[in-house]
Amino acid sequence: MITLTATRGERTQAEIVQAAHRLFLCQGYHGTSMRQIAAQAGIALGGIYNHFASKEDIFIAVLVEGHPFHDIMPLLLAAEGETIEGFIRDSATRMVAITENQTKYLNLMFIELVEFEGKHLPQIFKVFFPGVVTFSQRFVEGKAELRPIPVMTLVRAFIGLFFSYIMTDLIIGEQLPPEMGENALEHFVEIFLHGVLQSESHPEGGHG
């Protein structure tokens, strides 16, 4: 993102990342050259190396700067709820709403997985892990309501479950039969909160 207070160097770097982002989406990583990125950014080829040591470094910057977590994390940290259940419902709704149209990032992730076999994912996770830790503290606030499961495991399950909801919705959402799409998010929330087995407190999967 280019801000009004950005220096000339910061603006150039941002323009390189934006240019590379467009090219990677159209041509893939290996189908894109540094010369093409420079041309798309409107700078000399040698100028790129004042900002990035390699094309791979540019790709990592594209992945990090375009990550939905930049938008997701502030929303998660602002989630509300009088109980842990209310907090989870609000968090899930916010997370899904902000990622509904993230097909561009999904395509970048496919490039990462196919062309790099996911080797940059640990590096990307480190960037966003502090925010995940902060979010986990919200779970601690409702500790009295939780089963004795490590908080970070709960957060991992939360991110994993709703990321799977987002991924399947982006990939096959339009092909799903109506019964699989109806109240799907609500059902995912119920599964996270109460599992899939009936119990005395939730005999029909209803809210407790």
**Residue 2 domain flag:** no
Q: What is the pLDDT of residue 57?
A: 96
Neighbours of 82 (CB within 10 A): 8
- What's the 3-state SS for 134-190? HHHHHHHHCHHHCCCCCHHHHHHHHHHHHHHHHHHHHHHHHHCCHHHHCCHHHHHHH
Instruction: State which of 57-61, 142-146, 202-206 shows the largest mean pLDDT.
Output: 57-61
| Span 68-95, pLDDT tens digits | 888 888 988 899 988 888 999 999 998 8
pLDDT band at 22 (very low <50, low <70, confident <90, very high): very high
Kindly tell me if the per-residue pLDDT of 207 is higher than 70: no
**Locate tokens 């089963």: which residue?**
147
| Cα 130 from Cα 18, distance rounded (Å) | 25
Kindly tell me if the per-residue pLDDT of 5 is higher than 90: no
| Domain endpoint, select from 18, 40, 64 | 64
Say if residue 97 is exposed, middle or buried (CB neighbours under 10 Å; 0-12, 13-18, 19+).
exposed
Kindly tell me if the per-residue pLDDT of 142 is higher than 90: no
Backbone φ/ψ region at 174: left (φ over 0), alpha (ψ -120 to 50), beta: alpha
One domain for residues 105 and 190? yes
185 lies in which domain range?
68-194
Report the CATH number at residue 99. Answer: 1.10.357
One domain for residues 164 and 101? yes
Mean pLDDT of the chain: 86
| Domain endpoint, select from 17, 47, 64 | 64
pLDDT band at 1 (very low <50, low <70, confident <90, very high): low
113 touches 28 (CB < 8 A): no
Kindly tell me if the per-residue pLDDT of 205 is higher than 50: no
| Span 83-137, pLDDT tens digits | 888 999 999 998 888 876 677 888 888 899 999 999 999 998 898 899 899 888 8
